[in-house]
Amino acid sequence: MASKSSRGPIDLPGFFADLVRCETRLYNALNNRLRERHGIVTSQFESLRFLRDHPGSRVADLATEFAIGIGASSKVIDRLEKQAWVVRRTNPSDRRSSLLDLTTSGLHLVEAAEATFTSTLAELTTDVLGGPSGPAAVRILSELRSVLERDQIGLPTG
C-alpha cells in the first residue's frame, strides 16, 4: 500500500522495512562495540543513561520510556543491580514500588560507554546524516516518534 505525498506515492512497506532494518543494524553494531569495550549491551547502556538523566525513576518509568513491558524492564534492572551499577530504594510515596539510582560505578560506566556509543553512532551515520537530507530525516523521525508517543501508540499490552 502506498501513501501520497506532495512528491508522489510513498512505499510504506518499503519505508517500514528500511526503518526497522536500519534500527536493527545500528542496534547490533552498538551492542557489539559496547560489549567489546564496556561489557554491556545497548539496552543496558540506554537504561543506565536514562537513570543518570532521571535519578529516582521507577521501573515503570523505564518501561514507558522504552515502550517495553514492566517485566522486561524489571529484568534489565535486576541485571544492572546484580552488577552493582544500580540500587533500588523504597519509594516513600508508594511502598509497592522502588526508586532507582545509579551507583558510583554505574555512573562511571555510563559516562565511559556514552563516549563509545556517541562515537560509534557518528561513525555509522555521519556520511548519510551529514548530507543535505540528513537534518530533514532526523526531524521527520523525531516528529513521527512524538506523534506515536503523544497518542500512546505501540505500548506493550499486558
Give me the pLDDT at residue 4, please.
Answer: 58
**Model pTM score:** 0.87
> How far is residue 19's CA from residue 129's CA, in Å, rounded to a whole number?
14
Pairing verdict, β 2-5 and 98-102: unpaired
Q: Could you tell me the mean pLDDT of each successive run of 10 residues in the chain, 158 residues long?
A: 68 94 97 98 97 96 93 95 96 90 98 98 94 94 94 82
pLDDT in tens, 98-128: 999 999 999 999 999 999 999 999 999 999 9
Nearest 5°: phi and psi at 91? -80, 115
Residues pairing with 30 in the sheet: none
* Residues in contact with 86: Cβ distance below 8 Å, sequence separation at least 6, in sequence order: 48, 51, 77, 80, 100, 101, 102, 103, 106
Per CATH, which fold does 28-123 belong to?
A: Arc Repressor Mutant, subunit A (1.10.10)
Give 157's DSSP letter. Answer: P
- What are residue 102's DSSP bridge partners? 86
User: Which residues does 4 contact at the CB level (< 8 Å), separation at least 6?
Assistant: 10
What DSSP assignment string belongs to 95-126? Answer: TTSEEEEE-HHHHHHHHHHHHHHHHHHHHHHH
What is the residue extent of each domain of the chain? 28-123
What's the pLDDT score for residue 156?
82
Give the pLDDT of residue 43.
94
